[in-house]
Amino acid sequence: MPPPSTFTNPILWEDLPDPEVIRVGEKYYMSASSFHFSPGAPVLESTDLVHWGYIGHSLPALPEHDARFSLNTAGKRPAMAYGKGVWASTLKYRESNGLFYFYSPLQGTDKTCVFTAADPAGPWTERPAIERFYYDLGLLVDDGDDEMYIAHGTKTIEVAKLGKDGFSEVTSKVVHASDSYLEGARMYKIKGTYYIWLTKDWDTQTVLKSTVGPFGPYEERDVIRGMRTPIAGCGSPHQGALVDTSDGKWYYMAFADAYPAGRIPVLAPVVFDEDGWPSVVADYAEGDEKGVWRLEYPVVGVGAATGGGGGGGEGPAKSAKRFEFTGSQLDHVWEWNHNPDNSKWRLEDGQLVLEPATVTESLHLATNTLTLRTTGPGSIATFCIDTSKMRDGDRAGVSMFRDESAYIGIHHHKGGSGNASLVYVDGAKVAPVGIPVGWLNGRPAALDWECVSDGELRAEVPLKENQVWLRVKVDVRGAFVGKTQTADRKASFEYSYDGEGFEQLGPVYTLTQSMAGYIGYRFALFNFATKALGGEIRVRHCDFETWEPTG
């Protein structure tokens, strides 16, 4: 069978916003925002820009000295990092010393963390933080003199020159000011010309161009204005990265708002005119200034898939896959909600052993909740769980997890067997205390959140056996813009005692389509205590598959 001549957008129907994409030799690497999940800033690898596999994380953990990033529930108002953590960050390779550099201005702090690695799969080494918050930054390693620069800012765009080691600022200069809101800076040097690639007012991609040096002066030109995606219910592509191929072609990896799944990567070719101005290859009808990002483009080049989301391998695939817990570490597709308590989980005898790490009534305050991105247009995740060592007051299960969450699970009532129920709970919610994002020191800052509801029990039946399969099936087709904006996207929750015949528990759940927290829905495995620590569940595997919702 001949290889395909085109690729289809989206590249991955997964929540991977603010993508940074680079090429080193014949391999491509992508990083993305991860907010309050840990480890943070997932790293994906590809040989063709289309098929990607998760290989690691640039941020091994959120700041461990800060209780907010570890769901410390002490005190009258529990500390939480919802809405904070890893926003738009930058990843680049420095050929002179063979190191990858990752910079992230962590929301919830007022500084920019720095990590380096000889291999993007890790391990990553933490370096001294830069005592400036480089909002939505983009790194350039100048191929002429090996100097390092960071473009950053919002309405005011600055370029900072770093020290020789890349761990401090030498000087900084404002190179552009705008009445429009700007974000997502990426900085490039292409054929001797300097570019700063920016998103403007959420749906417009603009570019600054300088032929005289990194500090300008710069000219500005819009590249796309409100361009439409061919994917129903999704917003305009924006805020991503340019990347070249080894034969000199250029591509733009943007994301499209595709809630409730989140923000999903889309790819298109880029061409430069004789004056060096870039444009995105798209379709324009007569009188249509916005244009349409194509569903299909010619393949980037020949290359076997590394694997991962959208292509098989380690990530959620287009067909069924089983995630097992037989190795010495978790697959890189998994991320914890906030930092985990590593003393309360382990891989043992081919199983994930998950102990309660928190005494709480709230799913959103439960430490060691393990998450997995949903994949569009629809996903099914099925977990096989041994509940025999749960204790009185323990609550474990599988959630459709976001700021508004629902779950199917086990509520244990007393010690011993036969004292537990299968339950369906919805209405669990956290939300910003006031507004989600404020303004601090000239840049957007994520503000505090609070627990609104622990949820309501909607259905309950006796648990008949200690081993149970819990399944969540969800429709995450875009419902963010256009005619689909009013369409409900739903999830159903099922259980089985043999892994074959499943029965639905409770009503279907309607997902929120809001942008609160800027993340998409995830599957989440949890186990928390309401009375005392000491119990455990054992998870044998997770079966993951995609499906095609209709209607």
In the three-class reduction of DSSP (H, G, I as helix; E, B as strand; rest coil), residue 545 is classed as strand
**Do the two domains 16-226 and 321-547 of this chain adopt the same fold?**
no
Average pLDDT, the chain: 93
pLDDT of residue 74: 64
Q: What is the dihedral of CA 506, 511, 517, 523, to 10 degrees?
A: 60
φ/ψ of residue 6, rounded to 5: -135, 160
Query: CA 314, CA 43: separation in Å to the nearest integer?
Result: 13
**Structural contact between residues 278 and 272, judged by C-beta atoms closer than 8 angstroms:** yes
Q: What are the distances in angstroms from CA 108 to CA 133, 415, 430? A: 11, 41, 17
Q: Hey, CA dihedral for 343, 347, 351, 352, is it positive or negative?
A: positive
pLDDT of residue 202: 83
**Which tokens is 401 given?**
């997890």
Inter-CA distances, 333 with 34, 209, 352, Å:
12, 37, 15
Report domain extents, the chain: 16-226, 321-547
Query: Residue-wise over 495-509: b if at least 16 C-beta within 10 A, else e?
Result: bbeeeeebeebbeeb
**The two structure tokens encoding residue 339:** 């930092």
Residues 244-273 have a mean pLDDT of 96
Q: Give me the count of residues in the chain.
A: 551
Give the tens place of pLDDT for each residue, 476-530.
Answer: 999 988 878 888 999 999 999 999 999 999 999 999 988 889 999 999 999 999 9
Contact 410, 421 (CB under 8 A): yes
379 and 429 in contact (C-beta within 8 Å)? no
Phi, psi of 137 (to 5 degrees): -95, 160
- CA angle at 438 for the pair 437 and 444, rounded to the nearest 5°: 80
Tally Cβ neighbours within 10 Å of residue 448.
Answer: 18
User: What number of other Cβ atoms are within 10 A of residue 132's Cβ?
Assistant: 19
Cβ 212 vs Cβ 163: under 8 Å: no
Query: Nearest Cα to 86, choosing from 67, 63, 70?
Result: 63
pLDDT of 302 reads: 45
Q: Would you state the pLDDT for residue 310?
A: 35
Distance CA 25, CA 401 (A): 38
pLDDT (0 to 100) of residue 312: 33
Report residue 347 as tokens.
Answer: 């891989």
Q: Is the pLDDT of residue 308 over 70?
A: no
* Span 55-74, average pLDDT: 91
pLDDT at residue 309 in the model: 37
In this structure, what token pair is assigned to residue 442?
A: 């000239």
Stated as kind and residue range, the H or E segment containing 264 is: strand 263-272
Under DSSP, the state recorded for 82 is T
Letter string b/e over residues 515-533, b meaning 16 or more CB atoms within 10 A of that residue's CB: ebbbbbbbbbbbbbbbeeb
Taking only the tens place, the pLDDT of each residue in 357-372 is 999 999 999 999 999 9
Decide: 15 and 310 in contact? Cβ < 8 Å. no
Q: Name the residue with higher pLDDT: 309 or 30.
A: 30
pLDDT in tens, 410-456: 999 875 556 899 999 999 999 999 999 999 888 999 999 999 999 99
pLDDT band at residue 182 using 50, 70 and 90 as cut-offs: very high
Residue 305 has pLDDT above 70, yes or no: no
Least confidently predicted of 29-43, 62-76, 326-340: 62-76
Tell me the C-alpha distance between 199 and 181, whole Å.
Answer: 8
- Rounded to 10 degrees, the C-alpha dihedral 291/293/296/297 comes to 90
Closest by Cα among 138, 175, 141, 142 to 158: 175
Burial of 75 (0-12, 13-18, 19+ CB in 10 A): exposed
CB proximity list for 74: less than 8 A, separation 6 or greater: 67
pLDDT of residue 513: 85
Q: What is the pLDDT of residue 301?
A: 65
CB within 8 Å of 164: residues ≥ 6 apart: none
Task: Give the Cα separation of 205 and 182 in Å (integer).
Answer: 9
Is CATH 2.115.10.20 what the domain over 16-226 is classified as, yes or no?
yes
Q: Which two tokens stand for residue 264?
A: 């999903």
Fold assignment, 321-547? Jelly Rolls (2.60.120)
**DSSP, res 69:** G
Single pTM value for the model: 0.95
